[in-house]
Amino acid sequence: MQHDDHLIEAKHLLSELVAFPSISADGNVAITDFLAAALQASGARIWTEPDATGQKLNLFATIGPDAPAGVILSGHTDVVPVADQPWSTDPFTLTERDGRLYGRGSCDMKGFIAACVTMAPAFARRALKVPVHFAFTYDEEIGCFGAQALTASLVARGLRPAAAIIGEPTMMQLIDGHKGCYEYTTWITGREGHGSSPDLGVNAVEYAARFALKLIELRERLKTMAPDDCPFDPPHTTINPGLLSGGSAHNIIPGKARIDWEMRPVQASDADFVKDEIARFVNDTLLPAMQGVDPGCTIQTETVAEVAGLVPMPDNPARDLVTELTGANGAGLVPFGTEAGLFQAIGIPSVIYGPGAIAQAHKPDEYLAVEQLAQCLRFLDRLGARLERGAVAGAL
């Protein structure tokens, strides 16, 4: 088939994918069943795995030899909500105008998925020496929970693909790094009392303030812990206390307080350091003081999301592969998180390389330029030809 035919088919498939309103909270079973059927019809071997609720599905599909290696094409099937956004067209009806395809998820990131599935029959027609895998996940937008489950499954199944390409929108620019993004809410429960007798209560706001000061102290220490030549901006792990609330009136000892905070680690060891330091401070200093007054006092930290960073590596076969296929001149960094770090964490070299601009993601009138979709299809065609030839530098 010619490139033009691929493009017509990919646009049609994208219109079908956009018509599934797969907002994270609502689940992605329908769109995943649809993609599974399409890949199976193209000759792929597939498996799906639900989450605990049964409302969400991961899909993994393979074309080519039954080998542990191969190249993963990774995307998420969930999208962010459209509520309260001023769209000019129906967000779930793909609308082409002036070389752009408008619709929720067109750029983030159903366009990439449409391109991958459009090319599946072409992959299947080739005598691939190295398999190509499709990994389509749930809940990327609310914490990468699908990819966490999927990467655990790959390990359990003994699958160890040699490279992963995450097709998040980078305008088809090669990306090999981003910081992690770890978000938490810490709830502090003290004991209420009258403001005139501070010693008879446990002031939750006071302990929240001490907790926040600890975060700020750790933030300063992290500045000295970054690896040499850390490429990120700023070049070290950061912490931000983003919300601090509690109490009701000037003469009441507050019984409850809350801190929302995040860290953006440049390396996994920094995240471990912060978690260890916080746990020690809470267990050795804050809780004994609080519970000395009232044993019912607690400090509980809820994990909102922990999205692993993608650490730029000196050796990265995924980067070498995309560089070879595109002639890319080096790799860059992005300021947003993706599922790539989760693949890297289980030992699969990863890059981010996909159609569309992140500036359009999550916005009203989100769009994917037709030209970007076409460029992605041409890339996947070259990838198929490359996998037909066999291993790349012994890595695949």
- Catalytic (active-site) positions: 78, 140
8 A C-beta contact, residue 67 and residue 137: no
Cβ-based nearer residue to Zn ion, 109 or 117 = 109
| Beta carbon of residue 264, minimum distance to Zn ion (angstroms, whole number) | 18
Instruction: Determine the interface stretch with Zn ion among 5-13, 64-72, 105-113, 174-182 (rule: CB under 5 A).
Output: 105-113
Concatenated DSSP letters for 2-68?
A: -HHHHHHHHHHHHHHHHTS--BGGG--HHHHHHHHHHHHHTT-EEEEEE-TTSS-EEEEEEES---S
Cβ 55 to Zn ion shortest distance, Å: 19
Q: Tell me if 108 contacts Zn ion by CB under 5 A.
A: yes
Three-state SS at 395? coil
* Nearest distance in Å: CB 22, Zn ion: 12
Q: What angle do CA 57, 9, 81 make, to 5 degrees?
A: 40
Mutual orientation of helices 370-389 and 3-18 as an angle, nearest 10°? 120
* Pattern 155-194, Zn ion, x by CB under 5 A: -------------x--------------------------
Q: Which stretch binds Zn ion (CB under 5 A): 13-21, 107-115, 120-128, 309-317?
A: 107-115
Q: CB 245 → Zn ion: shortest distance, Å?
A: 30
> Nearer Cβ to Zn ion, position 107 or 159?
107
Nearer to Zn ion, 168 or 366 (CB): 168
Strand 175-177 versus strand 163-166 pairing type:
unpaired
Nearer to Zn ion, 209 or 304 (CB): 304
| 101, 370 Cβ separation under 8 angstroms | yes
At 282, list the tokens. Answer: 């809470």
Residue 109 lies near Zn ion (rule: CB under 5 A)? yes
User: How many residues form the binding site for Zn ion (CB under 5 A)?
Assistant: 3
Q: Which of 38, 33, 336, 391 is nearest to 166 (CA)?
A: 336
Q: Considering the rule CB under 5 A, would residue 150 count as an interface residue with Zn ion?
A: no
Interhelix angle 370-389/317-326, rounded to 10 degrees, is: 110
Quote the least distance from Cβ 341 to Zn ion, whole Å. Answer: 14
Q: Which stretch binds Zn ion (CB under 5 A): 27-35, 86-94, 101-109, 231-239?
A: 101-109
Residues that bind Zn ion (CB under 5 A): 108-109, 168
